[in-house]
Amino acid sequence: MNDTTKKIAGTAGSLLLLGSMGAGAVTAFAEEAPEAAPAGDELSLSEGVQRASAEAVQGDFSYTQTLVSSNDAIARAMGAAAYLCGNGAFEGDEFAGDATQWPIAIGGDVQNSYVATVAELQADPEAQKSIMGCSCAGNPADGSASVNAEVTGVAVAHLLEMAGVEAGANTVVFRSADGYEVALPLRYVVQHYCPVVFDVNDSPIAHTVGGANQLWLGSTSARYFAKNIVSITVETRDEAPAAPGSEEAGDTYANLPNIGVFFGGDVA
């Protein structure tokens, strides 16, 4: 989406709201914005619920969904999560060893189990770059725990296709070097863009969140991301795991920047 800038007057809405609307809807919002109210006028925020008095607000409003965060910003924003960073497999910002030789075993209920190193993933013709967002569940109002990154990796769906998933399989389990596991429905992994990432903003992933590789999941909470993956195992369970974002999974919040324009305040 191209950068969009609109002139608005009066009360300001929320980026979370606008981010879920199309460009046309944003235009409609701007066109329907009320004229700047005289200073001191009371403006209704929610009819019958809340009213506030403030100076008239007028200015330029802009947003973008394609701006890529710097590596430093990504490291700061994502550095607090134990399974995104800091699980002891690297020293400082560098992976302790040759990250390109890190092996990932693909197996389980498949026709052809195999092992692929990060170097082999890098050389795979299916490796691609994509701008993806990552937002923590505890993202504060200023959006500081939300980033966009240009990640390079290979889709898990491609890795599973090469292995040949057995009929009836319904679960994919990602296991990290420290024993951490993420289990997802096979259908969910296939329907979403879920790459095993080895570069962020054209730099090894060790320079941002650390480690040798990391699972990123499109339109999915960062709580499901895992790094230093050593195995991807296909399983046939009596019941597949709950899909992320579902009531059954207990995480029905959306992975969207929780950034908003405060009434009468500033946004960093």
CATH number of domain containing 218: 3.90.420.10
Higher pLDDT, 90 or 220: 220
One domain for residues 57 and 86: no
User: What one-letter code names the amino acid at 196?
Assistant: V
- With 0-12 / 13-18 / 19 or more C-beta atoms within 10 angstroms meaning exposed / middle / buried, residue 266 is exposed
One domain for residues 33 and 94: no
pLDDT surpassing 80 at residue 239: yes
pTM attached to this predicted model: 0.66
Q: What is the pLDDT of residues 21-34, one digit of tens each?
A: 333 333 233 333 44
Higher pLDDT, 252 or 237: 237
The verdict on residue 9 lying in a domain is yes
Residue 51 β-bridge partners:
44
One domain for residues 139 and 190: yes
Higher pLDDT, 119 or 260: 119
One domain for residues 35 and 96: no
Domain count, the chain: 2
Q: Average of pLDDT values for 181-202?
A: 95
The verdict on residue 91 lying in a domain is yes
Query: Sorting pLDDT into bands at 50, 70 and 90, what band is 47?
Result: low
The verdict on residue 260 lying in a domain is no
**pLDDT value for 68:** 87
Q: What is the pLDDT of residues 105-140, one digit of tens each?
A: 999 999 999 999 999 999 999 999 998 877 666 666
Do residues 221 and 244 lie in contact, with contact meaning Cβ atoms separated by under 8 Å? yes
Which one of 13, 35, 63 terminates a domain? 63
One domain for residues 154 and 29: no
One domain for residues 30 and 92: no
Domain span including residue 47? 4-63
The verdict on residue 171 lying in a domain is yes
Give the three-state DSSP class for 268. Answer: coil
One domain for residues 182 and 76: yes
The verdict on residue 53 lying in a domain is yes
The verdict on residue 229 lying in a domain is yes
The verdict on residue 21 lying in a domain is yes
pLDDT surpassing 50 at residue 96: yes
pLDDT surpassing 70 at residue 52: no
